[in-house]
Amino acid sequence: MSDRIIETEYSECMKQSYIDYSMSVITARALPDVRDGLKPVQRRTLYAMYELGLRHDRPHRKCARIVGDTMGKYHPHGDASVYDALVVMAQDFKRNEPLAEPHGNFGSIEGDDSAAMRYTEARLQKLTEEVYLADLDKNVVDFVPNFDETEQEPTVLPVRIPNLLVNGAEGIAVGMATSIPSHNLAETIDGMIALIDHPELTSEELLQYIPGPDFATGGIVINQKDLPRIYAAGTGKIKLRGRVEFEPAKGRGGKDKLVVTEIPYTMVGEGIHRFLADVGSLAETRKLPEVTDIANESSKEGIRIVLELKKGSDVERIKNILYKKTKLEDTFGVNMLAIVDGRPETLSLKGILQHSLDFQVEINTRKYHNLLEKEQQRREIQEGLIRAVDLIDLIIEIIRGSKTQQQARACLMGQPSQVTFRTARSEKQAKKLCFTERQAQAILDLRLSKLIGLEILALEKEHEETVKNIARYEKILGSDRAMKNAIRKDLENIKREFGKPRKTVIADAQEAAEVKEEIQEQDVVFAMDRFGYVKVCDVAAYEKSGQAMEHEYRYLFVCKNTDRILLFTDQGLMHQVKVTDIPFQKWKDKGVPVDNLSRYDSKKETILYVTSRGKMAGKRLLFVTCQGYVKQTESGEFDTANRTVRSTKLTEGDRLVYVEQAAQGGQMVLQTETGYFLKFPAEEAELYKKTAVGVKGITLSAGDHVKHVYQLGADDDSAAVLYEGRELDLRRMKLASRGQKGTKPRKGKGV
């Protein structure tokens, strides 16, 4: 048993196993091959459809059958991965050139899932059949055994266009990812033909023919100036915008409309619902008060998202806000990574076209070698039959004098020893015969009807055509220029039949800038109730019924509409919200949760103090933690544009229990959970930065913590608190120093 144990270093074993796994994911799942631009699952699915005979002019077949054949014969993985690949290859809003023709519910551009595979059907597109799979029977690519060695599958499909550019690619491997935008088929072919004619062209020069990406959803690329760098390096960011059109009001009761007719490719799926929600939020928070309604009127005919506007709205300003605040303007990250000779490589535009051209030369060389060989065999047979017509009487005598087909074949090849002839002259003539084995078999298989005069003329005409084909194939194989001319002609035919106009506009546009209207500064009332709902109200209404409202709100104060509201929480964070972001409402309105307007999370934090930046200017804040640390911090420390900052540093397990504006020249009292009180001068809570913990305000017993904090101003006559059912006057409490343990009030005593 010990002889079968292999000792190895565990770390080395894990390292090698992970490398093997990574390379398997990279080459066998996630990344496309530069030659056909397909991932293994896509290639195998298309080949399975080809084997099933699902041509473009034949009936559709259930997707469950396609998925089953793909899994059972070529792709031993989950059915979901195969069906998802088939669905994406059939969706015209994700692929410039869909490779499968769908029948049934294959999902929608708005993110709806496709129906189950047992309900949907598919077949090959004409483009796929003629451009991706047409030459598989001509031995142009290598075939290898499948996973269980019961079938043969192609290592790559003989795709005759740069599919990696035409349909793009997306995939996440281990430690790397690919993201290649789609391009226009006709333009890509133009770029490839230009490279055939001028091999010295650079990626930047090729942009004359392929000006940029062409997405299935259209849209506008707005950073044309960056494209030369992106296509030369193979990486970068393309900025996309949706197309927005203005429709003026029609009729007396009509309204002006902004209509989104094309979306960025990155918005396909859930992005449309998110866009609608974002626009609704902008309208609700008064950043887009001009938008009165939004409706999604998209259909099979195309995208149509309608925003109704108030009369006289600034359309350009609204567009800029939509570009700046929603996904109507987005970036597409480009990383042109593909498998080249079995290894991942980041490619430039020229690199992809050059590899595709090299692949075309390879498959065309094999194709014409195969065709030449077949034509040479056909010529051999044709020449034999033409000669046989002149010797038909002798051949008939040979056949009649032979006992077996083998004897007749041998005689036709010049070995008549076993054949019985009628005359010695015939035997002498038979010895002069020198047909090849292939010719001899063709003569024996010849039907007598082929000896009719017209049939003989057709045979001679067919022979002339065969000779011309052989000459053409030999010329193509013997000349690099002729080979490239053949490839060019092939590409031109594909462009003529399948080329389509460009959908995406390529331009340089100014970056969207939110044009902010000047806000006339005025006083407003900020209100927050005990549930965390906030709103901003009119000052005049507050002055009329303010006192009646004060008991309903936890925080209620007057501030400027240009101010910011600061929220201090027990987790040592400060969140801030612009007053303009808070909805202006009537007193009877509920308001909106402050969670929706800031990064405050009511499930994890508790608000301790709310103020405005204007009210806090020039003041100090007092911070006290449950572990007894105290400090004061200048309000200027919190003058920041960040929506959330750390207001103080906390030790592990600590939290804030008190944040308030510090009273000047007074005292402070700390009360613990177990009933200890410590009173000391407020100035002993020293001034620290917001990044400091502070100093120890009270010494706590094990398990005890600070529960309440009281500030006593210099002018306060009394400060009574309720303690154990009786009033406790903090003014009469003995003054001590910071850092002591404090005392417990005696029963029946006020101090």
Positions marked active-site: 119
Within 8 A by CB and 6+ apart from 251, the residues are none
Torsion sign across C-alpha atoms 388, 390, 394, 396: positive
Q: Residue 62 carries which side chain, given as an amino acid letter?
A: K
Query: Are 466 and 157 contacting, i.e. CB atoms less than 8 angstroms apart?
Result: no
Collapsed DSSP state (helix, strand, coil) of residue 3 = helix
3-state SS assignment for residue 417: coil
Decide: 524 and 286 in contact? Cβ < 8 Å: no
Q: Tally helices (H) and strands (E) across the chain.
A: 20, 34
**Strand locations in 212-328 (E):** 220-221, 235-241, 243-247, 257-262, 291-296, 305-309
Closest to 574 (Cα-Cα) out of 537, 612, 600, 604? 600
Sheet containing 555-560: give its strands across: 555-560, 523-528, 533-538, 592-593
Distance (Å, rounded) from C-alpha 579 to C-alpha 410?
A: 104
CB atoms within 10 A of CB 544: 12
End-to-end CA distance of the chain: 84
DSSP 493: H
Residue 215: CB atoms within 10 Å = 28
- For residue 624, list its beta bridge partners: 630, 658
Q: What is the C-alpha to C-alpha distance for residues 488 and 471, in angstroms, rounded to an integer? A: 19
Q: CA separation (Å) from 301 to 93, 108, 297, 298, 308? A: 12, 12, 10, 8, 21
Q: b/e map of 253-274 (b: 16 or more CB within 10 Å)?
A: eebbbbebebbbbbbbbebbee
CB-CB contact of 666 with 597 (8 Å)? no
How is 10-75 classified by DSSP, letter by letter? HHHHHHHHHHHHHHHHIIIIIS-BTTT---HHHHHHHHHHHHTT--TTS--EEHHHHHHHHHHHT-
CA distance 655 to 677: 20
**Tokens linked to 487:** 């490839």
Strand-pair category, 235-241 with 220-221? antiparallel
DSSP 8-state code for residue 687 = B
Alpha carbon distance 582, 579 (integer Å): 5
Q: Concatenated DSSP letters for 585-603?
A: --TTS--EEGGGTSS--TT
The Cα 93–Cα 109 span in angstroms is 6
